[in-house]
Amino acid sequence: MFSLVAMIIFTTVLANLMMFLALNISKKKQLILNKMTAFECGFTPPVSPRLPLSMHFFFIALIFLIFDIEIVLIMPMMLIMKINNIFFWSFMCTYFMILLLLSIFNEWNQMMLNWNS
C-alpha cells in the first residue's frame, strides 16, 4: 500500500516539475498579427484561406470513432470467457451487443448516418 502511495506522489511531483520547467524554459512568443496571416505576395487574397468544416463529416467521424472503440472493447471478451463462467460471459456480451444496437439505432433515427442530408 505504501509503495502505491509513494509511486502516485512521485509521478505527480515529477509531472508538475516537468510542466514547471517547460513553462520557464520555453521561449515567450509575442503574437504578431502580420506573422499570423497568410503570405500572398503583397495583394489581398480574393477568398479566405480557411475552408469551413462540414459538421456532417465531423459527426460521421465522431460516430466512427465511438463505434471503433466499441469494437476494440469487444475483442478481449474471448479472453474473459476463459476466466469467468459462461453465464456471466453470455450476459455481458448480450448486454454489450444490445447497447451497441441501441446506439446505432439512435444514430439512424436521428438521421446522422445519411451522407446526402
Q: What is the reported pTM?
A: 0.47
The whole-angstrom separation of Cα 8 and Cα 77 is: 30
Domain ranges of the chain: 2-109
**Tell me: the pLDDT tens digits for 27-43?**
666 666 666 666 666 66
Phi first, then psi, for residue 21 (nearest 5°) are -65, -40
Q: Residues for the chain: how many in total?
A: 117
The whole-angstrom separation of Cα 13 and Cα 74 is: 36
Residue 95 has pLDDT above 60, yes or no: yes
The whole-angstrom separation of Cα 34 and Cα 86 is: 66
The whole-angstrom separation of Cα 100 and Cα 77 is: 15
Mean local confidence (pLDDT), 7-28: 88
Q: How confident is the model at residue 15 (pLDDT cuts 50, 70, 90)?
A: very high
CATH of domain 2-109: 1.20.58
The whole-angstrom separation of Cα 73 and Cα 60 is: 20
**Tell me: the pLDDT tens digits for 38-90?**
666 666 666 777 778 888 888 888 888 888 888 888 777 777 777 778 888 88
Residue 67 in grid coordinates:
463505434
